[in-house]
Amino acid sequence: ETGVTQTPRHLVMGMTNKKSLKCEQHLGHNAMYWYKQSAKKPLELMFVYNFKEQTENNSVPSRFSPECPNSSHLFLHLHTLQPEDSALYLCASSQKPLEKETQYFGPGTRLLVL
Amino acid sequence: SQKIEQNSEALNIQEGKTATLTCNYTNYSPAYLQWYRQDPGRGPVFLLLIRENEKEKRKERLKVTFDTTLKQSLFHITASQPADSATYLCALSNTGKLIFGQGTTLQVKP
pLDDT at B94: 72
Q: Which long-range contacts (CB under 8 A, 24 or more apart) does B44-49 make?
A: B44/A43, B44/A90, B44/A103, B44/A105, B44/B89, B45/A2, B45/A105, B46/A102, B46/A103, B46/A104, B47/B88, B48/B75, B49/A100, B49/A102
| pLDDT-above-90 percentage for chain B | 75
Mean model confidence pLDDT for chain B: 93
pLDDT at A99: 66
pLDDT at A69: 94
Question: Does residue B17 sit in helix, strand or coil?
Answer: coil
- Measured between beta carbons, which residues in chain A are less than 8 angstroms from residue B1? none
- Measured between beta carbons, which residues in chain A are less than 8 angstroms from residue B104? none
Kindly report, residue by residue over A28-58, the tens digit of the pLDDT: 999 999 999 998 789 999 999 988 888 888 8
| pLDDT-above-70 percentage for chain B | 99
Contact between chains at B31 and A42 (C-beta distance less than 8 A): no
Kindly report, residue by residue over B3-48, the tens digit of the pLDDT: 899 987 899 999 999 999 999 999 888 889 999 999 998 999 999 9
Kindly report, residue by residue over A56-97, the tens digit of the pLDDT: 888 899 999 999 999 999 999 999 999 999 999 999 999 887
Q: Would the pLDDT of B1 be above 80?
A: no
Chain A residue whose CA is closest to B6:
A42
pLDDT at B61: 97
pLDDT at A49: 93
Say how far apart CA A99 and CA B45 lie, in whole Å: 16
